């Protein structure tokens, strides 16, 4: 039995694939057992990994797509947040379960179980997605530094890279997790304040949370919002950071532990749904109702002051900087895991490969930031790139989760697999619609 790298760089033995032997009786399952476990004090020990992942989909890329969607289409695209979050809970739970059962991240599983040529192809596509992710996260942090302290973006980007590098290498994972949770609380608190300031029309917004409405005019923004919420690097990251908890326990407790993981994922993604919805609602209430189409985050900040006051502008800047810094940390953690996982190297922060993995996929994005890319369009296009890559992350995840030789008796059932195929088909269909309307003027 070989040692596999775990979150935070600690190598531990793989748990066995088959964990259902010697059960004294069937574990408690079903909604009633899940509800009971939600109120268990033991649940607190397992909360955290889902919230680390959540910070990745309330990042600056979400700010750009949500502000664009709210300012151009009002509350119309709120349903995208609802649908994307439901798909996100499903996929993140599946990725976390893959990590728990196999003791390996998604990247390591792809390398171990898929043909070499396919693993290389998938590795290249997720590397491109990581570059797009890094562009959004670091650019957002740079914009936050600019709005709050007047630093030029070309200085704020490299400054963020240095801070992230030192934070990851200088902190133990659990301490880093707590720091990220503080940033998440700051972002959520800032948007609660903004909702009180802008006083949105809740009656007008409510139907758009559940009624789909998309057109050729809004498809680019809708796909950007989808890619900003269901992010491929976050699926990889969740399968890795979930290993920071102790899952190698008695088989009779497995169902209960899975309830804890699902609760962590659902609560965290639900919080992300609230924050993303708040972003659109604030943009719709402030900009759409005033007939202002926002084309940059700086414009959004500057326009807030005359429309709703200077406090909203300050809160906006604080939340953006918190989102940029924290999501840059999680993006770099994902990049290091993807690089080490696909190369079959240990995920140890002390190794040269890990240190290089933290920054190598960030460097192209840093070049674009320094040379002066259009920040707002760059953020939106980066999220569309993530959406286009999603099928190349979801399909391997579905296959690995269904394979008995990978998951043993814990492989996904038929109904779960069908739901996964439908989710993948929906994302692929939306991407095809985007490409059609872009290149053939549909």
Q: Which CATH architecture has domain 46-251+270-439?
A: Orthogonal Bundle (1.10)
Secondary structure, 3-state, 392-440: HHHHHHHHHHHCHHHHHHHCCCHHHHHHHHHHHHHHHHHHHHHHHHHHC
- Whole-angstrom distance, CA of residue 47 vs CA of residue 264: 5
Structural domain spans, the chain: 46-251+270-439
Q: How far is CA 209 from CA 41, 77, 214, in A?
A: 33, 8, 13
List all residues 6 or more positions away from 372 whose beta carbon is below 8 Å from its beta carbon: 153, 154
pTM of the entire predicted model: 0.85
Q: What is the pLDDT along the chain (442 residues), one digit of tens a residue?
A: 333 444 444 434 444 434 333 333 344 556 666 666 666 778 888 889 999 999 888 877 788 888 889 999 999 999 999 999 999 999 999 999 999 999 999 999 999 999 999 999 999 999 999 998 888 889 889 989 998 899 999 999 999 999 999 999 887 888 888 999 999 999 889 888 888 888 899 999 999 999 988 887 888 888 878 877 888 999 999 999 998 887 765 666 777 888 889 999 999 999 999 999 999 999 999 889 888 888 777 777 776 766 667 787 888 889 889 988 999 999 999 999 999 999 999 888 889 999 999 989 999 989 888 888 776 677 777 777 888 898 999 999 999 999 999 998 889 999 999 999 999 998 888 778 767 766 665 4
- Whole-angstrom distance, CA of residue 403 vs CA of residue 409: 10
For residue 243, the 8-state DSSP code is: G
């Amino acid at each position: 039995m070989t040692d596999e790298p775990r979150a935070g760089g600690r190598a531990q033995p793989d748990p066995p694939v088959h964990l259902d032997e010697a059960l004294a009786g069937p574990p408690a399952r079903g909604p009633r057992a899940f509800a009971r476990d939600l109120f268990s004090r033991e649940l607190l020990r397992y909360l955290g990994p889902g919230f680390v992942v959540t910070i990745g989909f309330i990042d600056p890329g979400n700010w750009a797509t949500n502000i664009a969607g709210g300012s151009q289409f009002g509350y119309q695209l709120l349903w995208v947040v609802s649908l994307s979050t439901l798909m996100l809970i499903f996929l993140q739970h599946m990725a976390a379960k893959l990590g728990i059962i196999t003791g390996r991240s998604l990247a390591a599983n792809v390398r171990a179980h898929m043909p070499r040529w396919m693993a290389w192809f998938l590795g290249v596509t997720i590397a491109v997605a990581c570059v797009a992710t890094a562009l959004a996260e670091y650019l957002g942090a740079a914009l936050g530094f600019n709005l709050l302290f007047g630093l030029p973006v070309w200085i704020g980007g490299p400054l963020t890279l240095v801070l992230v590098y030192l934070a990851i290498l200088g902190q133990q994972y659990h301490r880093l997790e707590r720091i990220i949770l503080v940033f998440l609380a700051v972002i959520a608190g800032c948007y609660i304040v903004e909702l009180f300031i802008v006083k949105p029309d809740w009656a007008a917004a409510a139907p758009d949370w559940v009624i789909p409405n998309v057109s050729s005019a809004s498809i680019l923004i809708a796909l950007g919002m989808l890619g900003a919420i269901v992010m491929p690097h976050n699926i990889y990251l969740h399968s890795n950071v979930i290993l920071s908890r102790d899952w190698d326990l008695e088989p009779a407790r497995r169902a209960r532990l899975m309830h804890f993981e699902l609760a962590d994922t659902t609560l965290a993604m639900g919080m992300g749904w609230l924050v993303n919805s708040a972003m659109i609602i604030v943009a719709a209430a402030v900009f759409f109702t005033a007939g202002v189409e926002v084309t940059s985050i700086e414009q959004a900040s500057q326009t807030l002051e005359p429309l709703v006051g200077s406090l909203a502008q300050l809160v906006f800047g604080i939340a953006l900087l918190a989102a940029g810094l924290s999501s840059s940390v999680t993006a770099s953690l994902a990049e290091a895991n993807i690089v080490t996982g696909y190369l079959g190297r240990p995920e140890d922060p002390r190794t040269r490969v890990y240190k290089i993995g933290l920054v190598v996929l960030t460097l192209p994005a840093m070049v674009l930031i320094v040379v002066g890319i259009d920040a707002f369009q760059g953020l939106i296009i980066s999220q569309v790139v993530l959406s286009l890559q999603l099928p190349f992350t979801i399909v391997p995840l579905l296959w690995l989760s269904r394979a008995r030789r990978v998951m043993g008796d814990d492989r996904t059932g038929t109904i779960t697999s069908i739901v996964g195929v439908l989710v993948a088909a929906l994302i692929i269909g939306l991407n095809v619609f985007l490409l059609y309307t872009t290149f053939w003027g549909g």
